[in-house]
Chain A
Amino acid sequence: MKNSIIESIEKIGWPRIIIGLFLASMFVIAPFVGVSVGTSISDVLVRFTFNGVLVLSLLPMVKSGCGLNFGLQLGIISGLLGAVTSIEIGITGFLGFLIAIGVSIPFAILFGIIYGLLLNRVKGDEMVVATYVGFSVVSFMNMMWLLLPYKSPDMIWGYGGTGLRTTISVEKYWFHVLNDFLSFEIGGVYVPTGGFLFFALMCLIVWIFFKSKTGTAMTATGSNPVYASSSGVNVNKMRLVSVIISSIIAAIGILVYEQGFGFIQLYMAPLYMAFPAIAALLLGGASVGKATIANVIIGTFLFQGILTMTPSVINNIIKSDMSETIRIIVSNGMIVYALTRRKKARG
């Protein structure tokens, strides 16, 4: 009996249990310190729909054995290019959002190919190389945002300035196009149906993809590259495809984030965006070499839950904002933990 409890705990994983209990206790304490549970749940749901797709984008690369995508910024940059181009064209509403996706996909494919070819040459060191490739691309784009010939007055610096602003509002264009679709309120809880539907659609596409022939070959590549290659799978090609898919989903992911958040953030904003997404995936039970869609969903929910609940609840208890510190410790601690686990898991 005792053993089976320990076993099941180990199966779920200590970090998840600790974070899960922490989150549950937050919800229990919330009403007592004057935080509305309804609002909190709505916040968690809304944030879930912002971030879910970004977390999902990590999945293909983990599955193909490329590890955690510390270079998520490449996909994000493609998405940002799509977003600013769409605003430059000036079409509003859902169509504008689709145009943003449409523009960003070719960029994502292009960046994905270059990035994937590079990662194929640095096997075993993908993560550290990817981190700095991501940083380099973000800082390179800092120059580009200043130099690219965008003209829309909603995006460039006012009088006399050149280049794009650091934050660009999408309010006039495609603010909440997904989240407000079929959304409803029930018992004080706002449910962003459209956001969930879109996330579900993305998950479904990924799920179907991994049931396809290419998808299974990709999974085989990740779990045992030597075996995969001896059974006729082109390992490098599979890895390359996974990187491209990851980049495309990341590009879509950042657009989903922006339509919910309301702003396009340029310049240094995307620099550290890979870490929270990775932490969420790991929190959901994934490891450096293994991840499922369930991990994505659970992880995003737990992570966003913590991010939403800690500021409101803790602030009310100790009257100071510790949320940023807790966020840093939880998300980066999770990543460090996962990095140290890898070798042991393989024996």
Chain B
Amino acid sequence: MSMSNSEKVKKFLINNTVPILFVVLLFFAIPLSGFSPEYLANEMITRLGRNSFLVLALLIPVMAGMGMNFGIVLGAMAGEIGLIFITDWGVVGINGVFLAMIISTPIAIILGFVAGLILNAAKGREMVTGFMLGFFMNGVYQLFVLYGMGNIIPINNPKILLPRGYGIRNAIDLVNIRQAFDSFIKLKIGDISIPVFSFIIIAILCIFIVWFRKTKLGQDMRAVGQDNDIAAASGIAVKRTRILSIVISTVLACYGQIIFLQNIGTMNTYNSHEQVGTFAVAAILIGGASVAKANISNVFIGVVLFHMTFIVSPRAGKELVGQAQIGEHFRVFVSYAVIAISLALYAWRRQAAKNREIKAVLDEQNEAIENRGGSQ
């Protein structure tokens, strides 16, 4: 089973095509952009603290064979509802962040459960269904926040209510909890400030995921991810396991969005969650994950590469063609295209494998027929 070195290199290159491409891209784009290394390091650390948790939320559904969970948008909405409440009540600082998490957890569990049921009904189409579900729930969220809040659900703070008396404003200033997590434990090395507490929470989540893989439920999920039928035959409640994976992912996404927004410090009530799914999925795929396989290292590599591209491309675009706008369009293009290409490559490989399998079976049959023909 020993592989020669050149084979190993080849395999490594094939398995990591996407991250390598991005490293090469950045190799040219970073010098072009002219940003200082300190600035980039600072940005990277901020963005790792801000985004990693959301991207980590994608891991568990992949384990259960449900692909990229575009439905993390639902979790993000739950988190935002929690933030609206604590802003209304005037609960501030780190207490506010934790309270927002507690309030939004049941909402996220319910949403995740519903999403799980729907994705079970749409087996084999989980990704596109999850994606559309995000859009659909966005409408329900609007109904709830824009028409229900201040009407049916008591909201009193005029700073977040629309002047007409009900409905939440377009933008909410989260000044009361701004960077409550990040600055809870302060650390500064040179010019680079490090959000220690956010990193501690992310580390805890990583440990949780590693531990979770080894639990009974985690093992079940991996079995379900491998093969539904075999898992069912060995007594695993397949549907329940799949629902649970989505519930966990939704709850994690909800916390992820809260961490994200406390760092940003303002919330666009109706837009902040829109691109959460796309950006998280793009990041993890750039980190070398596939629809069927993703691990923690993919998350961090992905966040670094994706956000580095995000930071440098407008400036690089300006240097290259004289228009910063081109660079901005380019980074949007990159996030969509990388998802399209990764999903297509995965489906393509799977189809090719399936075709080979069918061909092998057919060949075997033909051979058997020929042999029989020969013996008669």
User: Which residues 320-337 of A have a CB within 8 angstroms of B?
Assistant: 320, 322, 324-329, 332-333, 335-336
**Contact A139/B129 with A332-B139, A333-B136 known, Cβ cut-off 8 Å:** no
Q: Interface residues of A toward B: which range?
A: 35 or more
Contact A339 B336 (CB under 8 A): no
Contacts of A132 in B (CB 8 A): 336-337, 339-340, 343
User: Contact string, B119-152, partner A, CB cutoff 8 A, digits 1/0?
Assistant: 0011111011101110110111011001100000
Given the complex of chains A and B, what is the CA–CA distance between A162 and B322 in angstroms?
11
Is residue A316 within 8 Å, beta carbon to beta carbon, of the partner chain?
Answer: no
If over half of A's interface residues share one DSSP class (helix, strand or loop), that class is named, otherwise mixed; here it is helix
**Contact A129/B129 with A136-B336, A322-B147, A336-B118 known, Cβ cut-off 8 Å:** no
How many A-B contacts are there with CB distance less than 8 Å? 124
Contacts of B340 in A (CB 8 A): 129, 132-133, 135-136
Q: Which of A70, A124, A139 contacts B333 (CB 8 A)?
A: A139
Is residue B25 within 8 Å, beta carbon to beta carbon, of the partner chain?
Answer: no
Contact A343 B124 (CB under 8 A): yes
Looking at the assembled complex, report how far the CB atom of B21 sits from the nearest CB atom of chain A, in whole angstroms: 15
Best-surrounded residue of A132, A325, A327 (most CB of chain B within 10 A):
A132
Identify which of A38-46, A48-56, A115-123, A214-222 touches chain B.
Answer: A115-123
Given the complex of chains A and B, what is the CA–CA distance between A125 and B325 in angstroms?
33
User: Contact string, B345-357, partner A, CB cutoff 8 A, digits 1/0?
Assistant: 0111001000000
Given the complex of chains A and B, what is the CA–CA distance between A275 and B132 in angstroms?
9
Given the complex of chains A and B, what is the CA–CA distance between A331 and B139 in angstroms?
10
Is residue A237 within 8 Å, beta carbon to beta carbon, of the partner chain?
Answer: no
Contacts of B142 in A (CB 8 A): 324-325, 328
Best-surrounded residue of B132, B323, B332, B340 (most CB of chain A within 10 A):
B132
Contact B128 A143 (CB under 8 A): no
Contacts of B348 in A (CB 8 A): 121-122
Contact A339 B122 (CB under 8 A): yes
Contact A343 B344 (CB under 8 A): no
Is residue A146 within 8 Å, beta carbon to beta carbon, of the partner chain?
Answer: yes
Contact A340 B121 (CB under 8 A): yes
Contacts of B344 in A (CB 8 A): 118, 121-122, 125, 129, 133
Is residue A85 within 8 Å, beta carbon to beta carbon, of the partner chain?
Answer: no
Q: Which residue of A lies closest to B352 (CB)?
A: A121
Given the complex of chains A and B, what is the CA–CA distance between A339 and B129 in angstroms?
6
Given the complex of chains A and B, what is the CA–CA distance between A313 and B135 in angstroms?
25
Contacts of B139 in A (CB 8 A): 325-329, 332-333
User: Contact string, A128-148, partner B, CB cutoff 8 A, digits 1/0?
Assistant: 110111011001101100110
Contact A70 B128 (CB under 8 A): yes
Contact A125 B347 (CB under 8 A): yes
Looking at the assembled complex, report how far the CB atom of B210 sits from the nearest CB atom of chain A, in whole angstroms: 29
Is residue A298 within 8 Å, beta carbon to beta carbon, of the partner chain?
Answer: no
Contacts of B186 in A (CB 8 A): none
Looking at the assembled complex, report how far the CB atom of A26 sits from the nearest CB atom of chain B, in whole angstroms: 18
Contact A129 B343 (CB under 8 A): yes
Contacts of A329 in B (CB 8 A): 136, 139-140, 143
Is residue A127 within 8 Å, beta carbon to beta carbon, of the partner chain?
Answer: yes
Q: Which residue of A lies closest to B337 (CB)?
A: A136
Contact A128 B131 (CB under 8 A): yes
**Contact A340/B118 with A122-B344, A332-B135 known, Cβ cut-off 8 Å:** yes
Is residue A342 within 8 Å, beta carbon to beta carbon, of the partner chain?
Answer: yes
Q: Which residue of A lies closest to B335 (CB)?
A: A139
Contact A325 B133 (CB under 8 A): no
Contact B147 A325 (CB under 8 A): yes
Looking at the assembled complex, report how far the CB atom of A39 sits from the nearest CB atom of chain B, in whole angstroms: 26
Contact B128 A128 (CB under 8 A): yes
Is residue B11 within 8 Å, beta carbon to beta carbon, of the partner chain?
Answer: no
Looking at the assembled complex, report how far the CB atom of B312 sits from the nearest CB atom of chain A, in whole angstroms: 16
Is residue B301 within 8 Å, beta carbon to beta carbon, of the partner chain?
Answer: no
Looking at the assembled complex, report how far the CB atom of B276 sits from the nearest CB atom of chain A, in whole angstroms: 15
Contacts of A140 in B (CB 8 A): 333, 337
Looking at the assembled complex, report how far the CB atom of A174 sits from the nearest CB atom of chain B, in whole angstroms: 28
User: Which residues 287-329 of A have a CB within 8 angstroms of B?
Assistant: 320, 322, 324-329
Given the complex of chains A and B, what is the CA–CA distance between A342 and B147 in angstroms?
33
Given the complex of chains A and B, what is the CA–CA distance between A276 and B365 in angstroms?
48
Contact A143 B330 (CB under 8 A): yes
Q: Which residue of A lies closest to B129 (CB)?
A: A339
Q: Which residue of B lies closest to A341 (CB)?
A: B121
**Contact A123/B329 with A325-B143, A335-B132 known, Cβ cut-off 8 Å:** no
Looking at the assembled complex, report how far the CB atom of A280 sits from the nearest CB atom of chain B, in whole angstroms: 15
Is residue B188 within 8 Å, beta carbon to beta carbon, of the partner chain?
Answer: no
Best-surrounded residue of B127, B138, B329, B339 (most CB of chain A within 10 A):
B329
Q: Which of B118, B125, B325, B333 contacts A342 (CB 8 A)?
A: B125
Contact A142 B351 (CB under 8 A): no
Contacts of A139 in B (CB 8 A): 329, 332-333, 336-337
Q: Which of A125, A135, A162 contacts B336 (CB 8 A)?
A: A135
Contacts of A332 in B (CB 8 A): 132, 135-136, 138-139
Contact A136 B333 (CB under 8 A): yes
Looking at the assembled complex, report how far the CB atom of A274 sits from the nearest CB atom of chain B, in whole angstroms: 11
Given the complex of chains A and B, what is the CA–CA distance between A129 and B348 in angstroms?
11
**Contact A146/B329 with A129-B343, A162-B323 known, Cβ cut-off 8 Å:** yes
Contact A342 B329 (CB under 8 A): no
Contacts of A131 in B (CB 8 A): 128, 131
Question: What are 18 inter-chain pairs, A to B, with CB distance below 8 A?
Answer: A121-B347, A124-B124, A125-B347, A128-B131, A129-B347, A132-B336, A132-B339, A143-B329, A146-B323, A146-B329, A147-B326, A325-B142, A328-B138, A332-B138, A332-B139, A335-B136, A342-B122, A343-B123
Give the A-binding residues of B (Cβ under 8 A). 118, 121-125, 127-129, 131-133, 135-136, 138-140, 142-143, 146-147, 164, 321, 323, 325-326, 329-330, 332-333, 336-337, 339-340, 343-344, 346-348, 351
A122-B343, A342-B125 given. 15 additional CB < 8 A pairs?
Answer: A121-B347, A123-B351, A125-B346, A132-B336, A136-B336, A139-B333, A139-B337, A140-B337, A146-B323, A146-B325, A325-B139, A332-B139, A336-B136, A343-B122, A344-B121
Give the B-binding residues of A (Cβ under 8 A). 70, 118, 121-125, 127-129, 131-133, 135-136, 139-140, 142-143, 146-147, 162, 275, 320, 322, 324-329, 332-333, 335-336, 339-344
